[in-house]
A and B are shown apart, each in its own frame.
Chain A
């Protein structure tokens, strides 16, 4: 008996590493190939599908036929399973804008590997000026008894980040602005300065909004007002003395630790010189 195809809550969560991987495979495609396909790996839970990894699968596509290297796909999946045993095949991806008949065939193959696979498209050719990342699930349609067709219904796509991923992506964002698309990693106090700068920018935006509202250029929005209240209240009201003591004790701790580490470094340097004598 066929299992009831469960329809997921319409959310697909994608990690940025998947998108970067797809973009990279597209750039490395074979001559003459107009699009690349590959397998999506991830985890499924009750309400959503989380796509955390992917790998590209070689395939040949021409006007009338399509051939996918299934051996390869199986092999790669096994290798990946060694590293992350919790990831399963959740679907497949293809670059390009449209869903062709070949996609239906490929989708069928993937239906054998996973229940209700997700089909992800990413328009790397930027046909409509954007990347248009979309996800679909297939649903059967047609009149019962006659030939059944397949319809791809879109799902909503959200992006999910781990905290560290977020920080990594923030760093990568900075490569956009550099002219020759390279970027070095900053260090130490520069990072704190950078973060402070960003907070300052955000505060400036908020301030311009407030001034606009006060001078009547914009309508006051109550929810924004409530956020502003929260913001102002977040700065804790502490008496000056208490704050002084807290600040000083913290600074003392940090300075002491700095002193200790400097002392230790001097000690090991001395130790080395003495041994060499």
Chain B
């Protein structure tokens, strides 16, 4: 991550810098989450988000120097069709007002979302995160992967849009030239911010008490050897994305071919025109008027490149996840081998 100039945040009560013209280039180098937020997110998914639906919610907290501290969160209700008059903004406002009464930080610092096998790179996410980051410079999106967590260890990642991508979204210029100018690759779309979990001392005391009451977990999912189910699903998703990608590539290829064919046609037309004009001049007739060539041959619409970028990013994500998973499983298999080796 390139180093950026650090500007000190305002020393008064934490106000989110909302003026879009502010040159607040504050790098959010680290995210500090309270244990309470983690537990709330886990509970929200567990109770309301079975299946492949995503659950979302808002993160509350404050910015301290170059850290983003997340101290609380509240969930968003699911979008139901029969609740069309449900006003999201009103729900948020009321919730934040009520939380302010009980001294909970009521500043928006981001949002969280659950994901299904790592598939979260989508247009919707991009748009939401862009509007958040546009309004509040330091906001992040926390991606919670419940399936990976159920396999043994908490999977929580924080992402922000890179400044380059922010520029592009602001311009709304998603054409090939725009992206080429900004030199965005699928790796430069999101940047991951490291997470640290912090608990206050009182909560630590609570943890000690809980540890006393129920020491050992019944399941040790992390040492589970079975892998085929998870691999199958991940590969299925990967295949779908790769199919999308290849369709996209085919579209782009046809576009390029059409474009070059059209160029050829244009050339030919101009040449014929010139020849005709030359012939007419020799015969002493008035040359034909020069027609506007560009109007005759309308250039074909270049396909939008943004989707390709998103798909590439998603594929990259899937591959990363799969590799992590396989490395873990290889380790476990070798352990099992060692265990057997002592027996047989």
Q: Could you tell me the distance between the alpha carbons of A171 and B217 in the complex, rounded to whole angstroms?
A: 12
Q: Could you tell me the distance between the alpha carbons of A170 and B45 in the complex, rounded to whole angstroms?
A: 18
Contact at A75–B323, with CB atoms within 8 Å? no
Q: Which of B45, B102, B176, B336 contacts A275 (CB 8 A)?
A: B176
Q: Could you tell me the distance between the alpha carbons of A171 and B337 in the complex, rounded to whole angstroms?
A: 28
Within 8 A of B (CB), among A176-217: 176, 181-189, 191-193, 195-196, 199, 202
Q: Nearest B residue to A184 by beta-carbon distance?
A: B196
Within 8 A of A (CB), among B193-234: 194-211, 213-214, 216-217, 219-223, 225, 227-228, 231
Q: Nearest B residue to A173 by beta-carbon distance?
A: B207
Q: Which of A168, A251, A269, A275 contacts B38 (CB 8 A)?
A: A168
- Which interface residue of A29, A56, A235, A265 has the most chain B CB atoms within 10 A? A265
Contact at A19–B231, with CB atoms within 8 Å? no
Which residues of B are found within 8 Å of A269, using beta-carbon distances? 185
Q: Could you tell me the distance between the alpha carbons of A268 and B312 in the complex, rounded to whole angstroms?
A: 6
Q: Which of B48, B152, B216, B228 contacts A253 (CB 8 A)?
A: B228
Contact at A250–B227, with CB atoms within 8 Å? yes
Pick from B15-23, B162-170, B280-288, B325-333 the stretch touching chain A: B325-333
Q: Give the secondary structure class of B's interface.
A: helix
Q: Which of A16, A168, A191 contacts B222 (CB 8 A)?
A: A191
B259 in the interface (beta carbon within 8 A): no
Encode contact with B along A151-186: 1 for CB under 8 Å, 0 otherwise. 000000001011111111111110110000111111
A53 in the interface (beta carbon within 8 A): yes
Which residues of B are found within 8 Å of A76, using beta-carbon distances? 98
Q: Nearest B residue to A238 by beta-carbon distance?
A: B340
A229 in the interface (beta carbon within 8 A): no
Which residues of B are found within 8 Å of A193, using beta-carbon distances? 331
A30 in the interface (beta carbon within 8 A): yes
Given contacts A175-B198, A181-B199, contact A188 B340 (CB under 8 A): no
Contact at B205–A126, with CB atoms within 8 Å? yes
Which residues of B are found within 8 Å of A24, using beta-carbon distances? 34, 36, 71-72, 104, 200, 203
Pick from B121-129, B263-271, B313-321 the stretch touching chain A: B313-321
Within 8 A of B (CB), among A113-135: 124, 126, 130-131, 133
Given contacts A20-B35, A171-B153, A171-B197, contact A162 B103 (CB under 8 A): no
Q: Could you tell me the distance between the alpha carbons of A43 and B64 in the complex, rounded to whole angstroms?
A: 38
Given contacts A16-B210, A164-B46, contact A181 B324 (CB under 8 A): no
Q: Nearest A residue to B195 by beta-carbon distance?
A: A185
Contact at A199–B220, with CB atoms within 8 Å? yes
Interface size on B, residues (CB 8 A): 104
Shortest B144–chain A CB gap in Å is: 9
Shortest A259–chain B CB gap in Å is: 10
Encode contact with A along B120-143: 1 for CB under 8 Å, 0 otherwise. 000000000000000000000000
Which residues of B are found within 8 Å of A21, using beta-carbon distances? 36, 40
Which residues of B are found within 8 Å of A20, using beta-carbon distances? 35-36, 39, 203, 206
Pick from A100-108, A136-144, A220-228, A239-247 the stretch touching chain B: A239-247
Contact at A167–B205, with CB atoms within 8 Å? no
Which residues of A are found within 8 Å of B199, using beta-carbon distances? 172, 175-176, 181
Q: Nearest A residue to B44 by beta-carbon distance?
A: A83
Encode contact with A along B47-70: 1 for CB under 8 Å, 0 otherwise. 110000000000000000000000
Q: Which of A28, A164, A192 contacts B328 (CB 8 A)?
A: A192
Q: Could you tell me the distance between the alpha carbons of A142 and B336 in the complex, rounded to whole angstroms?
A: 65
Q: Which 5 A-B pairs have the closest CB atoms?
A: A261-B319, A17-B39, A28-B103, A195-B222, A172-B35
15 contacts between A and B (CB under 8 A): A16-B39, A23-B206, A52-B43, A83-B76, A83-B77, A159-B210, A164-B46, A165-B43, A175-B199, A185-B154, A191-B328, A192-B328, A192-B332, A255-B326, A268-B245
